Amino acid sequence: MQEFFITLAGMFIQSVPNFMVALLILATTYYLANLSSRLLKSVLVRQNAEPGVSHLLSRILKWVIIAFGLIAALQRFFDVTAFLTGLGIIGFTVGFALQNIMQNFVSGIILLIQQPFRMGDNVSVAGNEGTVLKIGLRTTEMKTFDGRIVFLPNAEVLSQPIINYTRAVLRRVELPIGVSYDANHETVRKAILEEIKSVPGYLGTPDPLVLFHTFGDSSIDLNVLFWVDTTISSHIVAKDVALTRIKQAFKRKNIEIPYPTWSVRMHEGKQGQRGSK
């Protein structure tokens, strides 16, 4: 009996260093997990992520770090390789079954971190143009410019080109116009450049351009290019105002805006008559 207690005491003494190291690993891991969780949550809050999403991601990060710390602590007492292998097989099976959900989940995290757009931005994604209402972990919610509510899978959003109109403070307006062959080109150019200066948000730099480029069927075609500040006037409104004022200027200066015309010639045939006896 005495030898048993001596052996037990020896095993306890030998395990004390491993026990202390395991406690140190767990304490350090718990501290790092809380610190990382708070840092991630603060970053997501600064990026205007949803409170629920911020809380969920920060908790996931915290428990993932704690799990790694627990595995490292258990490794001090026994080999956890077999346990990790079984856990990996289970994880692979679950991940394969939920691959679409996991793909959208990971894509949602990437969107929240990279932030190609924020809530309230006007964007074009996967053929849909509108305002971003919500960035979730599985879908991105948009309200299109014609009033529809669209839910886009995050994986599709991440794989498609994204155009962010809100971040494009300066935008170029392009107007295709046709004028009569009889019009004086310099008069046309001067009239257009004079009128677009009064467009709300008009910018003189970069320089506006009036470029003639095609001999059309009934007109000489040109493009009007100028830049606007979208914080003052939207791209669409600036285009509308510019076209209206250019048309009024052409009317004052008797500059014709032609439209296609066709000449139709009608040939009347003569049908002979056959008499009878």
At 201, which CATH number? 3.30.70.100
Can you give the pTM of this predicted structure?
A: 0.57
Q: Based on the domain organization, do 68 and 140 belong to the same domain?
A: no
In this prediction, residues 95-111 reach a mean pLDDT of: 73
* Structural domain includes residue 267: no
Q: Based on the domain organization, do 62 and 26 belong to the same domain?
A: yes
What is the CATH number for 54?
1.10.287.1260
Judge whether residue 127 has pLDDT over 60: yes
Judge whether residue 50 has pLDDT over 70: no
Domain final residue, candidates 148, 164, 180: 164
Start-end of H helices in 115-165: 154-159
Question: What is the bridge-based pairing of β-strands 149-153 and 202-203?
Answer: unpaired
| pLDDT at residue 276, rounded to an integer | 44
* Structural domain includes residue 149: yes
| pLDDT at residue 134, rounded to an integer | 85
| pLDDT at residue 123, rounded to an integer | 92
Q: Based on the domain organization, do 151 and 204 belong to the same domain?
A: no
* Structural domain includes residue 196: yes
Q: Based on the domain organization, do 149 and 215 belong to the same domain?
A: no
Q: Based on the domain organization, do 19 and 90 belong to the same domain?
A: yes
CA distance 140 to 90: 30
Structural domain boundaries enclosing 78: 13-97
Q: Name the band, by pLDDT with cuts 50, 70 and 90, for residue 5.
A: very low
* Structural domain includes residue 258: no
| pLDDT at residue 87, rounded to an integer | 62
Q: Based on the domain organization, do 126 and 178 belong to the same domain?
A: no
Q: Based on the domain organization, do 75 and 27 belong to the same domain?
A: yes
Q: Based on the domain organization, do 189 and 137 belong to the same domain?
A: no
CB distance 193 to 208 below 8 Å = yes
Q: Based on the domain organization, do 122 and 90 belong to the same domain?
A: no
Q: Based on the domain organization, do 19 and 85 belong to the same domain?
A: yes
Number of separate domains in the chain:
3
* Structural domain includes residue 266: no
What is the CATH number for 130?
2.30.30.60
Question: 3-state class of 248 per DSSP?
Answer: helix
* Structural domain includes residue 110: no
Q: Based on the domain organization, do 65 and 51 belong to the same domain?
A: yes
Other beta carbons within 10 angstroms of residue 213's beta carbon come to 10
* Structural domain includes residue 31: yes
In angstroms, what CA-CA distances link 180 with 71, 129, 189, 220?
A: 81, 36, 13, 6
Q: Based on the domain organization, do 93 and 27 belong to the same domain?
A: yes
* Structural domain includes residue 103: no
CA angle 51, 53, 57 (to 5 degrees): 120
Nearest to 16 by CA among 66, 80, 78, 77: 77
**174 bridge partner residues:** 225
| pLDDT at residue 7, rounded to an integer | 57
| Average pLDDT of every residue of the chain | 81
| Tokens 């351009």 sit on residue | 209
| pLDDT at residue 168, rounded to an integer | 84
| pLDDT at residue 6, rounded to an integer | 54
